[in-house]
Amino acid sequence: MPIDNIIYFDNASTTKVNPEVLLAYTKVCETTFANASSIHFEGQKANRLLNKSRELILSTLNLSNTHQVIFTSGATEANNIAIKGYALKYKNRGNHIITTAIEHASVLKTVRQLEKEFGFVVTYLPVDQHGEIQIEDLVNAITDKTILVSVMAINNEIGVINNIEEIAKFLKSYPKIAFHVDATQAIGKFNLNYADVDFISFSGHKIHGLKGTGALIKRKKLEVLSLNSGGGQEDGIRSGTNDVAGAVSLAKALTIANSKISQNKTKITAISFKIYDYLESNPDLYEINSTKDNPYIINFSLKTKKASVVVEGLSNKNIMVSSISACHSRKEAYSHVVESMNKGEYLSHNTVRVSLDENNTIEEAKIFINELDKLIRGIKQ
């Protein structure tokens, strides 16, 4: 049902906190508030709760025997730790990084900083008209200087799903190359196999958890250079007093989301197909940039209207959608993802993203379609 009569179709940006997750957080804040690094009884109790949360996350993702959890403030920090931490730690092995042209800003700006400030060479793999990378391009990009490959599991703007399992298996033939996956839009939505992935990043607030919670899941044997020096928390990788309540809430959010993957996908697919039916029936008005493989994210470009005007118009009708990624939508007026798909300047400047979750309904989709259609046909150029 709508929240206070608002139709919220911007779940790829952030989600509403699950009451169970919030309750878990509050309970820990009230009852287990001691510093987990303290050696007294209350500190030990907090530390046990912290480690239990790590174990729960790893077991949920079937990574208990091979990986460890580093709690972070979210996927942006996790991406920075994985990429900078590994690249700087192993720079003596090589200075070449491979990523894709459509990564999240927290990956693209991180590797660009390594290029500019630390002398790394970065290859940005192109994508085809569907937003997909080709494994052949990855194969051809590898050199004897390559030490890191970073490919997102699911794109945050167009929802394209990368075959990370295939990439991970291929990279096993290159033992000095680590594989990092930004899984922010995949965790809790798709049952992907991360067994052969070295670094996995995700945020709590994308799966009805709290903002400011997230994790980097890393293979145990790999080291990273610490970007936060201090008391040595999080295996010396991220010093600072542990947020035990945040860790507990993150584990809670993940387990709830993971337990409902199948039923949520079935419900959301029906909603997304309703919207796709409308878009496909109006090819003169819309260019569809996403695919039905991922029902959570629907992305389309307006062929004759300005996206900023349409997004504002929908907002005035209490319908919340986005034009491009919320992480840079106030600074950049175009989608670098759609531009990389060779859709042209006009379409990349006028994209609309509808992102769904299990709280949305078919009725909301009908209202959205009706209001969008009225806006498109009523707006004067």
Task: Kindly tell me the number of DSSP H helices and DSSP E strands found in the chain.
Answer: 12, 12
Question: What are the residues facing 351 on neighbouring strands?
Answer: 301
Going from the C-alpha of 275 to that of each of 54, 131, 187, 295, 297, the distances in angstroms are 39, 20, 24, 10, 11
End-to-end CA distance of the chain: 34
Q: How far apart are CA 71 and CA 81, in angstroms?
A: 11
Q: Are 48 and 236 a contacting pair, CB within 8 Å?
A: no
Q: How far apart are CA 337 and CA 157, in angstroms?
A: 7
Q: How far apart are CA 38 and CA 47, in angstroms?
A: 9
**Which amino acid belongs to residue 92?**
N
Q: Which of 142, 288, 327, 379 is catalytic?
A: 327
- The helix (H) or strand (E) run that includes residue 99 is strand 96-100
Q: Are 369 and 24 a contacting pair, CB within 8 Å?
A: no
Q: How far apart are CA 209 and CA 107, in angstroms?
A: 22
Q: Are 71 and 61 a contacting pair, CB within 8 Å?
A: no
Comparing CA positions, the residue from 327, 324, 320 lying closest to residue 335 is: 324
Does the annotation mark 327 as catalytic? yes
Comparing CA positions, the residue from 206, 207, 189, 160 lying closest to residue 264 is: 189
Going from the C-alpha of 38 to that of each of 213, 233, 235, 241, the distances in angstroms are 22, 11, 15, 10
Q: Looking at the annotation, which residues are catalytic?
A: 327
